[in-house]
Structure 1
Amino acid sequence: MSTPFEKPQIIAHVQRSLNYTVFDSKWIPCSAKFVCLGNYARGTGVMQIYEVEHGEVKLIKEIEKAKPIKCGTFGASTLQQRHIATGDFDGNLNIWNLEVPDVSVYSVKAHKEIVNSIDGVGGLGIGDGAPEIVTGSRDGTVKVWDPRQKDSPVANMEPGEGEAKRDCWTVAFGHAFNDQDRCVCAGYDNGDIKLFDLRNMSLRWETNIKNGVCHVEFDRKDINMNKLVATSLEGKFHVFDMRTQHPTKGFDSVSEKAHKSTIWQVRHLPQNRDIFMTAGGAGNLHLWKYEYPAQRSKKDSDEVDMGVAGTVNLLQNVTLSTQPIASLDWSPDKQGLCVCSAFDQSVRVLIVTKLNRV
């Protein structure tokens, strides 16, 4: 007899009000702590470290910075150091040792304008090859940095001559399955999605989803490309099957009108790449599962391979706030534990149950 399907539940475990606007929140790997990044009303930046203890969140450290902090990643750090890289409103890329966070261990003027998005790879035991950080900015450029090298980026993707400068809202690493291969995906305010091959320093693929691209994420960074989710300004997300690239049609995709308003973020569950959460502008979270088709590729009329996208199923949804949920991060260590922050100046620790039964 088959067991009945049990829906996961999204439980708000603990909520904490903040006295500043929080833009990003990240779990510190191998710990019960998380970092909140944002800006005070007086125009300075703030970094707070919290610990989850006995059903409460306890403030451990609070550090004020000269400029508001927009985004952060641990992706290029070792598990021993757990340094966080941040992008700020002034275009600076900084790396901080959270044990002594007063002075950055690495700093570079990365962009002429705000760093909207940041991602890391090659650290935390995820992805082969050098530790690298990618930044995307309002100045229209996407840059890749090796924190072992000072001052200049190892790659700089900018609009070509005669091309309009677009605001880059989101960047993500993928395809880091050996020590040579690596890709960066970038999403822009006009709906453009571009996939850059860092090995060949070339534009591998581009498309347009007709709407500002708020967030892109590969289901995993350290494998041969499998799936990519892109979220948009008008509540739609697209899941691209990245295994088969057709020479003219590119990657096949499935799209879903998921939220009534902007989908600010998408985050894949670290322990199961086919489950992901979308965070919406109306203060809601939607939990999804991707189902693969019976066959992931087929021949077109010219006998050329093309991909076949699957379907997405809504597992659960919850409304937490009247304001947009701007960031979400799963714990890399404890399945179902996540932290999210909203523009109601609050941070919430959530527990999602029954994920192993989906």
Structure 2
Amino acid sequence: MMASGLANPQIIAHLEKSLDYTIFDVRWIPCSARFVVVGSHARGTGALQVFEMGQKDLVCSKKYEKKDEIKCCTFGATALQDRHLATGNFKGKMETWDLEKGDMPVYSVKAHSEIINCIDGVGGLGIGLGAPEIVTGSRDGTVKVWDVRQENDPVAMMQPKESEAKRDCWAVAFGNTYTEAERVVAAGYDNGDIKLFDLRSMSVRWETNIKNGVCGLQFDRKDILMNKLVATTLEGKFHTFDVRVEHPKRGYPSVIEKAHKSTIWGVRHLPQNRDVYMTLGGNGSLCLWKYNYPKERTNQDADGVEFGVAGTVEQIQNVILGTQPISGFDWSPDKEGLCVCSGFDQTVRVCIVTRLKSL
């Protein structure tokens, strides 16, 4: 149900630009009015472009063509003074780039035997404690964690047991980095599995199946004690898990919402308010949501064991920007309400979401 009232935020398409390649991901460059776009040319090469906002148009300031198509990217593990972009490509390579001189990668490793579908970073940009690390998930079924300060071996690897079938990993997310030692990775797979890996103990901390391919995962914040995790799916539902208290039998509580009437390609939490997030629709739509906590976040079962209580999710606003899926989205970390999104219609759009402070 959508909230009503004159104070509701509005999603306004501010600037847009059509490109000549398929766009897979977009990211704001921290502490700037620029963003980076990655994707795939029809001739099978990778696209990497930097855009800045003009008064009436989006202006390309840097343009690089790479040997291999690029699927995903993140700034999450870079130092703020460097702002190196980490990318995953169709040939399984993970690379980092200096966008000012992006002809050759700063770091390159053959990370996987097949396409890297998803990537996330932590420990960079002054956010979160611990080492700067990058996690990659691949069609080859493995999830790997990398420290680019080290040699070309992963610092951690999660893979199926010999008795398990190989599953295509579609989504990864770091979380729980509130101390130097604590860190988790959430991974989502094509069969609906979600697995939470504890990197301190190198074990599976929790797992569940949401009966639908997991297209996107994100914790509401990476640098706090685990609070909420949102998972989006192939057939239009998303799950918001309260991950503060895990019951030994019930696991983590969640609330399920149906949205977009199509695949939900991803989710992005508002940097300035962890209870507000945007979901990306396969029908070309964006939906803005707010999570409302219950009066009491925990209760006890008949045996006196504590379990978590899920809250509710409220749709604040939605807009249809095109006819093709929204493939990438990122909030500006510096200016509240400013965001950029990309669609499979080969268009990148800068949008403004108004009145967010009223939420």
Write out the 4+ residue segments of structure 1 that deviate beyond 4 Å after TM superposition.
Answer: none
**Alpha-carbon shift at residue 332 of structure 1 (Å):** 0.4
Where in structure 1 are there 5+ consecutive unaligned residues?
none
**Within-5 A mapping of 1:102-117:** 102-117=103-118
Residue of structure 2 equivalent to 1:86: 87
Q: Is 1:182 aligned to residue 183 of structure 2? A: yes
- Tell me if structure 2 keeps the 8 A contact 1:13–1:55: no
CA distance in 2 between partners of 1:103 and 1:201 (Å): 34
Residue of structure 2 equivalent to 1:125: 126
In 2 relative to 1, CA 282–141 (structure 1 residues): closer, same or farther, beyond 3 Å? same
TM-score normalised per structure 1: 0.98
- Tell me if structure 2 keeps the 8 A contact 1:5–1:357: no
Q: Report the residue type matching 1:356 in the other structure.
A: K
Deviations 1:209-262 (A, max 9, x none): 000000000000000000000000000000000000111111000000012000
Residue of structure 2 equivalent to 1:281: 282
Where in structure 2 are there 5+ consecutive unaligned residues?
none
**Alpha-carbon shift at residue 323 of structure 1 (Å):** 0.3
Deviations 1:278-309 (A, max 9, x none): 00000000000000000000001111000000
SS at match of 1:126: coil
Q: Report the residue type matching 2:69 in the other structure.
A: P
- Tell me if structure 2 keeps the 8 A contact 1:281–1:324: yes
Residue of structure 1 equivalent to 2:236: 235
Q: Report the residue type matching 1:301 in the other structure.
A: A
SS at match of 2:267: strand
Residue of structure 1 equivalent to 2:328: 327
**Alpha-carbon shift at residue 150 of structure 1 (Å):** 1.6
CA distance in 2 between partners of 1:77 and 1:154 (Å): 17
SS at match of 1:302: coil
SS at match of 1:335: coil
CA distance in 1 between partners of 2:302 and 2:278 (Å): 36
CA distance in 1 between partners of 2:137 and 2:53 (Å): 31
Residue of structure 1 equivalent to 2:20: 19
CA distance in 2 between partners of 1:259 and 1:199 (Å): 37
Residue of structure 1 equivalent to 2:169: 168
**Within-5 A mapping of 1:200-349:** 200-349=201-350
CA distance in 2 between partners of 1:170 and 1:252 (Å): 20
Q: Report the residue type matching 2:230 in the other structure.
A: V
**Alpha-carbon shift at residue 53 of structure 1 (Å):** 2.2
Deviations 1:292-337 (A, max 9, x none): 0000000011110000000000000000010000110000000000
SS at match of 2:216: strand
Q: Report the residue type matching 2:30 in the other structure.
A: P
SS at match of 1:169: strand
Residue of structure 1 equivalent to 2:139: 138
Identity %: 66
**Alpha-carbon shift at residue 114 of structure 1 (Å):** 0.2
Deviates more, 1:280-289 or 1:46-55: 46-55
SS at match of 1:51: strand
SS at match of 1:102: coil
**Alpha-carbon shift at residue 5 of structure 1 (Å):** 5.6
CA distance in 2 between partners of 1:205 and 1:355 (Å): 34
**Alpha-carbon shift at residue 77 of structure 1 (Å):** 0.3
Deviations 1:88-147 (A, max 9, x none): 000000000011100000000000000000000000011100000000000000000001
CA distance in 2 between partners of 1:200 and 1:37 (Å): 35
**Within-5 A mapping of 1:54-69:** 54-69=55-70
Q: Report the residue type matching 1:342 in the other structure.
A: G
SS at match of 1:200: coil
Q: Report the residue type matching 1:18 in the other structure.
A: L
- Tell me if structure 2 keeps the 8 A contact 1:275–1:290: yes
CA distance in 2 between partners of 1:30 and 1:261 (Å): 34
- Tell me if structure 2 keeps the 8 A contact 1:172–1:218: yes
SS at match of 2:357: helix
Residue of structure 2 equivalent to 1:98: 99
Deviations 1:162-211 (A, max 9, x none): 11000000000000001100000000000000000000000000000000
Q: Report the residue type matching 1:313 in the other structure.
A: E
Q: What is the number of residues matched between the two proteins?
A: 355
CA distance in 2 between partners of 1:206 and 1:215 (Å): 16
Q: Report the residue type matching 1:10 in the other structure.
A: I
CA distance in 1 between partners of 2:228 and 2:93 (Å): 31
SS at match of 2:280: strand
CA distance in 2 between partners of 1:319 and 1:340 (Å): 12
**Alpha-carbon shift at residue 56 of structure 1 (Å):** 2.1
**Alpha-carbon shift at residue 54 of structure 1 (Å):** 1.8
Residue of structure 1 equivalent to 2:77: 76
Q: Report the residue type matching 1:223 in the other structure.
A: I
SS at match of 1:338: strand
CA distance in 1 between partners of 2:130 and 2:345 (Å): 40
CA distance in 2 between partners of 1:252 and 1:115 (Å): 30
CA distance in 2 between partners of 1:230 and 1:301 (Å): 30
Deviations 1:31-64 (A, max 9, x none): 0000000010000001000001224211101100
CA RMSD of aligned residues (A): 0.7
CA distance in 2 between partners of 1:42 and 1:241 (Å): 44
- Tell me if structure 2 keeps the 8 A contact 1:108–1:150: no
CA distance in 2 between partners of 1:46 and 1:30 (Å): 23
